[in-house]
Amino acid sequence: MEWPGLYNYWIAIFLMMAGLYIVIAQQNLIKKMVGLSVFQASVFILYITMGKVTGGTAPIIIPGDDVLYSNPLPHVLILTAIVVGVATLALGLAIIVRIYEAYGSIEEDDIEKEEENAR
Amino acid sequence: MMSHLPALQVVVPLLSAPICVLLGRGRFAYGFTLAISWVAFVISGLLLQAVVQGGAISYQLGGWAPPWGIELRVDLVNAYVLLIVSAIGALVMTYAKPSVDREIGAEQEYLFYTGYLLCLAGLLGVTITGDAFNIFVFFEVSSLASYMLISLGPNRRALTASFNYLIFGTIGATFFLIGVGLLYQMTGTLNIADLAERVAPLTGTRTVQAAFVFMVVGLALKAALFPLHAWLPNSYAYAPSVVTIFLAATATKVSIYVLIRTIFTIFGVEFSFGTMSLGPLLFILAIAAMLLGSTVAIFQDDIKRMLAWSSVAQIGYMVLGLAFATVNGVAGGILHLFNHALIKAALFMAMGCVFYRMGSVRIEAMAGIGKRMPWTTAAFVAGGLALIGVPLTTGFVSKWYLLLASVESGMWWIALFILISSLLAIIYVWRVVEAAYFMPSPDGAPEGEAPLLMLIPTWVLIIANVYFGMDTRVSVGVAVDAAKALLGGGS
């Protein structure tokens, strides 16, 4: 396989790791959600990539025998996953709003401090 | 009608959720949810009966034949998981009214019941489906609902607990999704039975091995297997009582069920325990979970938190059973899955009763409670005994099979760890007993038992614990049959 080979997989893996790193490393809850979204988006790209057939066209039936189609199934699957991702993001942000109302901050350190003071 | 039962099992609670929103405030939402919970329970009972009599049921959604269409597949293993999930659901809803009235504002109640119905539909969906991608979707349906339910807890810490669970849960589910994607890439199918056949000749490839790792790690996160349990203690401790009961008894169990499916049905014993040598890893993590969970539980002053840490340990037992990959071991794991659902639901129900009366579940609030709330305390003690694994309770039966498996496999030292963890359980259960019976009640402590509506479901579960501890024919028979089917490849 020639460098960079199937470069779209490199992109997907890079985004995956970057997203996961943001989730772990960031203290700010909104940034964590951003990281989580990047992480999920990388998986969407992974799925979309695997459905592509080199030289394949959109899967709409064209008369003739030797038409090469891309695989539509991963795309359909990922539509569902995108909906799930949007719902997760919305719920996460809604909880962050409530956290802000309760603690007056969305930084993990401040929330911990606030909790210790209240004790 | 009968032939559509598998679909109805999921569709009924799923469609009830929006109806529940439309019912809005007032008394109807609760009655409606209660009725639906019992309907789901009856359906799962009928399904189990059909499976026991006629073998596995395959239901083709929309009439599309598998492996192209989505298949709902009910066999002996998941028929019992369905039954336990819906039975706990029905009992929890019967119990819920007074507790929910006290802990959740009247304005939000109908939304709370909606969330519960979605969570139930998701969990039943995960269990019943025969399609790997479907598992992910239903996982997210149930998880999103449970994040919402946890965030309704009375303490503001419920919000941060819920947020942490959201982060961990999403990462876990996404890992599972990556694994499914890689498998699809290699096999071109998502149907579990079809996957099992097509993965076998491909086990030498790096992609399938990576898929295995992604799926197992993702599910371990969802099931809160040590060291991926960080989300669990806070979520259970700060969620409303009813939510804790329901999630503790069902959510992690369903994840363990999917783990069983993944390891034994999709990838097969040979690959999982041979090529990938999963066995030693699971042994180490399970034993660490058992010892650490039980030890940390001893030092908790919040009893719900204590029980949550004990759940971490109990998940260790279940995974330990799987790690043996022998009939007795896997049967022990499956048995513990059922038994622990009964035990933990009963214990958390007792804590719900305490919270209802006392407004707290800290150890200080337990002082002298044995005299003031005799039935609740007795239920807690009986549940505690089952948790420890005293003979004539369910806890003993499953631990007995785990001991049997460890001796059989020539790893008697594992029996030692099971014993140590059980001894630690005696200590943390004893702390509550000591406070409840041997400390004087503080002045002006609220008198009186919890409402009958809460006590009856609690005691139904306690009686079930004792019954299935004595009459082991049904539960053990099914678990052993299920284990044989799983180990024999296919189901």
pLDDT for B254:
94
**Would A99 be classed as within a structural domain?**
yes
C-beta separation of B387 from B426 below 8 A: no
**Helix (H, G, I), strand (E, B), or coil: what is residue B191?**
strand
ipTM: 0.93
H or E element that contains B314: helix B303-324
- B208 to chain A, minimum CA–CA distance in Å? 15
Of A36, A87, A111, the CB nearest to B167: A36
For residue A1, is pLDDT > 90? Answer: no
**Would B304 be classed as within a structural domain?**
yes
**Would B410 be classed as within a structural domain?**
yes
**Would B180 be classed as within a structural domain?**
no
Chain A residues with CB inside 8 Å of B171's CB? 20, 23, 36, 39
**Would B117 be classed as within a structural domain?**
no
**Would A112 be classed as within a structural domain?**
yes
- B144 to chain A, minimum CA–CA distance in Å? 7
Which two structure tokens, joined as six digits, stand for B451?
A: 């409402």
Chain A residues with CB inside 8 Å of B166's CB? 88, 91-92, 95
Residues contacting residue B15 through CB under 8 Å, at least 6 positions apart: none
Identify the residue among A27, A84, A114 best suited for mutation to test binding to B, counting B beta carbons within 10 A and taking the highest.
A84
Our separate counts of H helices and E strands in chain B read: 20, 2
**Of B27 and B11, the one with more pLDDT:** B11
**Would A61 be classed as within a structural domain?**
yes
Rounded average pLDDT over B462-466: 90
Burial (CB count <10 Å: 0-12, 13-18, 19+), residue B335: buried
Identify the residue among A29, A86, A95 best suited for mutation to test binding to B, counting B beta carbons within 10 A and taking the highest.
A95
How far is B27 from A100, CA to CA, in rounded Å?
32
- B64 to chain A, minimum CA–CA distance in Å? 15
How far is B459 from B466, CA to CA, in rounded Å?
11
**Would A105 be classed as within a structural domain?**
yes
At B187-237, the pLDDT tens digits run: 888 898 888 888 888 888 888 999 999 999 999 999 999 889 889 999 999
Q: Which residues of A touch B (CB under 8 A)?
A: 16, 20, 23, 29, 32, 36, 39-40, 43, 46-47, 50, 73-74, 77, 80-81, 84, 87-88, 91-92, 95-96, 98-99, 102-103, 111, 115
Residue reference for tokens 């996460």: A92
For residue B28, is pLDDT > 90? Answer: no
* Mean pLDDT of the residues in chain B: 89
C-beta separation of B335 from B475 below 8 A: yes
Burial B48-85 (b: 16+ CB within 10 A, else e): bebbeeeebbebbbeeeebbeebbbbbbbbbbbbbbbb
At B228-283, the pLDDT tens digits run: 988 999 999 999 999 999 999 999 999 999 999 999 989 888 888 888 888 889 99
Of B147, B157, B163, the CB nearest to A115: B157
Which residue range is the domain that position A106 belongs to?
7-118
Residue reference for tokens 């409402």: B451
The confidence band for A7, taking pLDDT boundaries of 50, 70 and 90, is confident
**Would B371 be classed as within a structural domain?**
yes
Q: CA nearest B389: which of B343, B428, B456?
A: B343
- B19 to chain A, minimum CA–CA distance in Å? 20
- A60 to chain B, minimum CA–CA distance in Å? 18
Identify the residue among B159, B190, B302 best suited for mutation to test binding to A, counting A beta carbons within 10 A and taking the highest.
B159
How far is A24 from B174, CA to CA, in rounded Å?
15
Burial (CB count <10 Å: 0-12, 13-18, 19+), residue B355: buried
Chain B residues with CB inside 8 Å of A87's CB? 140, 144
Q: CA nearest B142: which of B251, B240, B12?
A: B251
pLDDT for B214:
94
Rounded average pLDDT over A46-63: 84
Cβ-defined contact of B140 to A87 (cutoff 8 Å): yes
**Would A1 be classed as within a structural domain?**
no
How far is B369 from B362, CA to CA, in rounded Å?
12
Of B151, B157, B170, the CB nearest to A88: B170
Rounded average pLDDT over B401-407: 90
Chain A residues with CB inside 8 Å of B140's CB? 84, 87-88
How far is B116 from B121, CA to CA, in rounded Å?
9
H or E element that contains B222: helix B206-223
**Would B237 be classed as within a structural domain?**
no
Burial (CB count <10 Å: 0-12, 13-18, 19+), residue B254: buried
In chain B, how many domains are there? 1
C-beta separation of B426 from B388 below 8 A: yes
Per the DSSP assignment, residues forming a β-bridge with B71 are: B60
**Would A2 be classed as within a structural domain?**
no
- B185 to chain A, minimum CA–CA distance in Å? 7
Cβ-defined contact of A43 to B177 (cutoff 8 Å): yes
Q: How many CA atoms lie within 13 A of B65 on its CB side?
A: 0
Which residue range is the domain that position B382 belongs to?
277-491
Cβ-defined contact of A23 to B184 (cutoff 8 Å): no
The confidence band for B490, taking pLDDT boundaries of 50, 70 and 90, is very low
The confidence band for A2, taking pLDDT boundaries of 50, 70 and 90, is low
Which two structure tokens, joined as six digits, stand for B255?
A: 């994840």
Residues contacting residue B273 through CB under 8 Å, at least 6 positions apart: B279, B325
**Would A17 be classed as within a structural domain?**
yes
Helices B109-128 and B5-23 pack at an angle, to 10 degrees, of: 170
B147 CB near a chain A CB, below 8 Å? Answer: yes
C-beta separation of B415 from B403 below 8 A: yes
Helices (H), A26-72: 29-51
pLDDT for B202:
85
**Helix (H, G, I), strand (E, B), or coil: what is residue B74?**
strand
Q: What is the CATH number of the domain that holds A77?
A: 1.10.287.3510
In chain A, how many domains are there? 1
Cβ-defined contact of B163 to A29 (cutoff 8 Å): yes
B174 CB near a chain A CB, below 8 Å? Answer: yes
At B314-354, the pLDDT tens digits run: 999 999 999 988 888 999 999 999 999 999 999 999 999 98
Phi/psi for A116 (5° steps) reads: -70, -40
For residue B491, is pLDDT > 50? Answer: no
Nearest CA in chain A to B156: A102
How far is B401 from B397, CA to CA, in rounded Å?
7
B166 CB near a chain A CB, below 8 Å? Answer: yes
What number of other Cβ atoms are within 10 A of residue B392's Cβ?
Answer: 13
